[in-house]
Chains A and B, each alone.
Chain A
Amino acid sequence: MSYIKKPLVRHPSLRTNQLGLTVRDYEGAMSTLCAGCGHDSITAAIVRAFFELDTPPHMVAKLSGIGCSSKTPAYFLSGAHGFNSAHGRMAAIATGAAAANRKLAYIGVSGDGDSLSIGLGHMSHAIRRNVKMLYIIENNGVYGLTKGQFSASADVGSKSKRGEANAQAPIDPVMLALGLGATFVARSFSGDKAQLVPILKAGLLHDGFALIDVISPCVTFNDHEGSTKSYVHTRKNQVPIVQTDFVPLAAEITAEYPEGSVAKVTTHDGTTIHLRKMAADYDPTDRTRAMTMLRERQAAGEIPTGLLFLDSTGGTEMHRGAKTVSTPLVDVPFDELCPGRDALEKLQAAYR
C-alpha cells in the first residue's frame, strides 16, 4: 500500500534538472498495483514529465477518484499535496481546488470507470468549464479494483476474462471531449513513453483543460485475447496520427526536426510543441477534422494516438471567463474580502 517507503538511495550520477532535483525527487511511494499494470508506466511518464518541466513538486496538486488508476497519485511526486477522493468525484474536487488557488498545477488521474460512468457528468463539466488542469484517463476498458467488470469504454465485442463479449457501444472520451469543446485532446498508450511524456508536458502547460486518454492495459483482468485494451491489441493497432515532441523555449532544438514535416505550436507560457505530421493532411488545430479522422480510423479498427486537437490559446479558461483576480483567492487578505462595519451600517438602510 501507499505507505510503503521507497529506499532513498540516490545515484551520484543521476542527472539534475534546473531546480537541482533528480528524477527520484519526483517519485512517490512504492506502487502496490499488479506487476505489469499499465498504470505504473503512466506513473513513470508523469514523474519524467514533471522532472523535465523543472516543476517544484509542492506547486503541484494531484487528485484522483477511486480505482486502481486513482491510487497512482500516491506513487509520484511525494512532495506534492495529494487527494485521493471518492469514486468519480475527482473532477468536481479539482474544480473547487482550482477555483481557490490558480497558481498551482493540477493533475487529475482517473480511470475509465471513474470518468466515463459514475463521474461522467463531472468530467464533462470540467471540460465545459475549461478548468486549467491535466486530466488523465488511465483507460483499461474494465473496472480493475472491483475485479473485471466491463467499463463504459469497453469496445463492442471486446471479451472479458471469462470470455463474455461486451454488447454495448463504448463511450470514447476523446470524441466526447472534442464534442464538448475541449481545448486540448490527446490519446496515448502507457507502453509508449516516447509519445506520452511530451504529451503530458504539453498538457501540463496548456492554459485550460487538457484531456489525455491513455490506453493502459489491465494485466490481471483485461490483457487477454479478445480484449481491445490489451498490450498486444494496442501495439498492433496503434496509429500515431501525430508524433508530438515538446521543447521548452529556453532550450530550442527545433533544428533536429526535418523541415517541412513539423508543425510548431507555441503554448501559452511560450514553450513550444512540435507536431510531426504522420498523416500528410492532418491538421491538429481543426476540431471537425479531428473528429472525422477519429471516426474513420476507429471504423478501421485503429487506435489513433498523439495530440489530436489543440487550441493553443487555451480558450476561455474558468478563471479567465469568470474574471477572477490574478492573485489566488486563498491569498487575498481578509480585509479585502470583508466589507466591514461601516458598509454593513450603510447597507442596512435598505432593509428599513
Chain B
Amino acid sequence: MQHEAVASSAEQVQPSGEEVRDRTNDFAFKLANVNGTGSASANGLIMQAIFRMGIPVSGKNLFPSNIQGLPTWYEVRVNAKGHTARTSVYDLIVAMNAETYARDIREVRPGGYVLYDSTWPLSPSLSRDDVTFLGVPYAQLCNEHFTEVRERTLMKNIAYVGTLVALFDIDMDIVTGMLKEKFARKPALMESNAKAIKLGYDYAREHFDCPLPMKLEKMDATKGSILIDGNTATALGCVYAGATVAAWYPITPSTSVLDGFKAFCETYRTDKATGEKRYCILQAEDELAAIGMVIGAAWNGARAFTSTSGPGISLMSELIGLAYYAEVPAVIVDVQRVGPSTGMPTRTQQGDILLCAYASHGDTKHVLLFPANPNECFSFAVKAFDLAEKLQTPVFLLSDLDIGMNDWVVPRLEWDENYKPDRGRVLSKEELLALPTPKYYRYSPEDEYGVAARTLPGVHEKGSFFTRGSGHNKLGGYTEIPDEYQEVMDRLARKHRAARNLVPPAIIEKRQGATFGVLTVGGCDPAVREALETLEERGVHGDFLRVRGFPFGDEVEAFLAEHEVVYVVEQNRDAQLRSLLILETSVPKEKLRSITAYGGFPLQAHQVIEGIALP
C-alpha cells in the first residue's frame, strides 16, 4: 500500500544520464538520521563490515551538538585506491529523517539512489527524475515484528543495514559474525538484531535488483590494519607511555580520550586481587585546575597529561606559561573543534595552531605534535611524554575532532618492547651526592638541548629547589636583573630551537616534474594526497609535505626553499599554519598560497584542487 502512494511520485527507475561505469569498491553513501535513535551502532556495523571485507573505507560522523532529536549524518566512503578523505558526492543516501528529506535527496548525485522508509508516502515535491527511489517500509516491518516501542525504533536502523547488505553485496557471513561477537553475552539482543537485518535484506532481495552498480568485492587492502578512532589511540598511547596521572575537565571532542584512558587503566593497571589502581584520574573542577594538577604531578615526577579542546586551552594558558618558564613537563592533548568561543562543538577545525604555539603571556613558545590519523595519535602521544620530559616543557598533541572521533583504517599499532621512557635529566640521590658542587642548582649546567637536570621532591635534601614562575636566574634564584633574566629567556629560546630535530620529521613526497609544493597538516592528509593524485592524472604535478611537529625542522625549510610556490592547506579561516611558517621560517610570505576550509566538516579533495591555480 505504501508502495502505491509513492510509486506515483518517485519510485520509478530513471535513467541517470551519466555514463554507466563500474562502481565496485568506489563509491560513497550517506546515512541521514535523527540524533539519539541508535543509528550510530548500525552505521558502525556497515563501516566495519566493509573494512572486514578488506576494502579501504572511512566513516565520518557529522553530528549536531545535541543529545536527542536533531538531524545527524554518517558518511561512508569506499575506495579501492585508498582515498578515504571525505567526499560529498553521494551515490546513495539512506534517508531516515523525514525532516531532512528535501536536503538529503537533493544531495544525491544524478544516477544515484535514495533508500527511504516508505511506511509513509514521500511528498511528490521531493521527487527527482534523475535518481532512483528505493522504498522499504521499515517502520511497518518493525512494528509487525517487534513488540517493544524502543526496539521498534532501534531496529529500523538495523533493518536498513540488512537492505544495504543486499544492495551492496556485503558479505552476510561477516555481518552475522560481527553480531555474534558484539552480542556474545546478550543472546536476546543478538537475535533481534539478526531478525531486523533479515527483514531489511529479504525485502530488498524481493523488491529491488540486487546488487546495485555500486557494490563491494572482497579485497586484501586492510590486512594488517585496524579500525580505530584517534582519541582511543591517544588514550592507549598515554597508557603505553606510562602516564599515571590524568587531570581533565569534560569537553567535546576530547572526552573520549579520558574515557579510553580510564577503561584501559581499569584493564591493565588495576590489581585484580586488591582492586588497587596504579593510576590516578582527577576530574578537575575546570581546566585551570586540570593543567595545575598536571603541573603538580609532573613536578613530582609523574608522567601526567590533560586532554581538552580550544576553550580549555584558553583557560589553561596562564599555567601553560608557568610550566614553560619554570620548566615543568606537561602533556596537553588538544582535540580541536570549531571556534571562536563555543563555536560548533561537534564540528572539526584546526583553529588552535597559533593559540597552542604561543599559549600564555610573555615570550612563550611551545612544542607541538600534529598527528594525522589514529596511528600517529598513538605513537605521538608516547613521543609527547618523552619530549616533555627531555625538554622539561609543555608539549601539545594537536589532534582534531575528525581524527579523534571518527573511525579510521590505519596500520596496526606497533610497540617496541625495548622502549624505555626518556625521562630526561633527573638526578638520583646518588647523582646528587656526587655533584662536584656543594649545592644543586636548578637551571644549570645546561646540556646540548639547553636543558638542566631536575630533581624530584623526596629524593634528597641536596636536591631541594624552589620552583617559581617569577623572574629567576640560571641558578633558580629570584631575580629582577635584566642580564640574568635574559640569560634564562635566551636559553629557553635555544631549547625550543633544539626541539626541531626532536619532533617527528615532516613527511615529504616528491613527484617528477613538480611545479609547486603543497604543505599541509594533520587530518588534511588524505584529502591533499587525493587531490595531488587526481591532479597528477590531469598532468599537473605537485610535491607534498605534511608537517608533524613544531618547531619546524630543517626539512621544512628546505622544502619551502625548493619551491617557487607552496600551497598551505589547513582548516581554519586565518591560515594559522601559514602565519606560523612565515613567523618561524625564512620563507618569503609571497611564496605561500593559502587554501583554507573551515566550515566544520572534514576536508575534501575537490576543495584542495579548486584552490590550486592550475598552470
Contacts and interface: CB of A to CB of B under 8 A. Distances in A.
Interface string A60-94: 01010000000001100011111111100101111
A110 to B, nearest CB: 13
Contact of B279 (A81, A329, A344): A329
A93 B297 CA distance: 7
Contact of B301 (A59, A100, A339): A100
A103 to B, nearest CB: 7
A58 B278 contact: no
Interface stretch (B251-259, B396-404, B412-420): B412-420
The CB with the most chain B CB atoms within 10 A, among A93, A332, A338, is that of A93
B276 interface: yes
B300 interface: yes
A324 interface: yes
B278 A125 contact: no
Contacts of B456: 81, 330
Contacts of B298: 96, 100
B229 to A, nearest CB: 9
Given A86-B318, A104-B458, A324-B277, A93 B477 contact: no
B278 A97 contact: no
The CB with the most chain B CB atoms within 10 A, among A74, A96, A341, is that of A96
A121 interface: yes
B460 A58 contact: yes
A57 interface: yes
Contacts of A338: 239-242, 419
Interface string A122-161: 1011000100000000000000000000000000000000
A61 B457 contact: yes
Contacts of B319: 85-86, 89
Contacts of B227: 351-352
B238 to A, nearest CB: 10
Interface stretch (B161-169, B188-196, B285-293): B285-293
A81 B468 CA distance: 11
Contacts of A251: none
Contact of A93 (B244, B269, B295, B301): B295
Interface string B260-285: 00001001110100011111111011
Contact of A92 (B268, B277, B288, B412): B288
Contacts of A84: 466-470
Given A58-B464, A104-B457, A325-B271, A352 B52 contact: yes
Interface in B441-483: 455-461, 463-470, 477-480
B293 to A, nearest CB: 3
Given A93-B292, A351-B226, A322 B280 contact: yes
A258 interface: no
Nearest to B322: A86
Task: Please tell me the size bucket of the interface on A.
Answer: 35 or more
Contacts of A219: none
Given A82-B467, A348-B413, A61 B461 contact: no
A286 B241 CA distance: 46
Nearest to A79: B461
B299 interface: yes
Given A96-B296, A103-B458, A2 B289 contact: no
Contacts of A343: 268
A257 interface: no
B280 A329 contact: yes
A61 B300 CA distance: 9
Contacts of B313: none
A99 B277 contact: no
Given A332-B278, A344-B415, A92 B466 contact: no
Given A89-B292, A100-B301, A58 B459 contact: yes
Given A79-B464, A329-B279, A86 B245 contact: no
A96 B285 contact: no
A85 B322 contact: yes
Interface string A316-352: 0001001111100110101011111101100110011
B285 A125 contact: yes
A106 to B, nearest CB: 10
Given A79-B461, A325-B277, A2 B292 contact: no
Contacts of B290: 92
Q: Is the interface of A mostly helix, strand, loop or mixed?
A: helix
Interface in B301-315: 301-302, 304
A38 B298 CA distance: 33
Given A81-B467, A99-B302, A2 B478 contact: yes
Contacts of B228: 351
The CB with the most chain A CB atoms within 10 A, among B286, B302, B417, is that of B302
B421 interface: yes
A3 B278 CA distance: 39
Interface string B217-256: 0000000001110000000100111101101000000000
B35 to A, nearest CB: 25
Given A1-B478, A61-B457, A82 B465 contact: yes
Contacts of A103: 458
Contacts of B384: none
Interface in A215-241: none
B577 interface: no
Interface in B564-604: none
A74 B242 contact: no
B415 A96 contact: no
Interface in B378-433: 412-417, 419-421
A100 B329 CA distance: 14
B302 A101 contact: yes
Contact of B415 (A95, A100, A341): A341
A101 B416 CA distance: 28
B294 interface: yes
Nearest to B232: A351
A26 B49 CA distance: 67
Contact of A57 (B226, B412, B464, B468): B464
Interface string A183-212: 000000000000000000000000000000
B465 A100 contact: no
Contacts of A340: 415, 417
Which 6 residue pairs across A and B have the least CB separation, nearest first? A96-B296, A92-B292, A96-B293, A100-B302, A3-B477, A81-B457
Given A84-B470, A324-B278, A332-B244, 11 more contacts: A1-B478, A58-B459, A61-B300, A63-B296, A84-B466, A89-B288, A96-B247, A121-B286, A319-B280, A325-B271, A339-B268
18 contacts: A2-B466, A58-B459, A80-B464, A81-B464, A83-B467, A92-B284, A93-B293, A96-B293, A96-B300, A101-B300, A104-B457, A324-B278, A329-B245, A330-B456, A338-B242, A339-B239, A341-B415, A352-B227
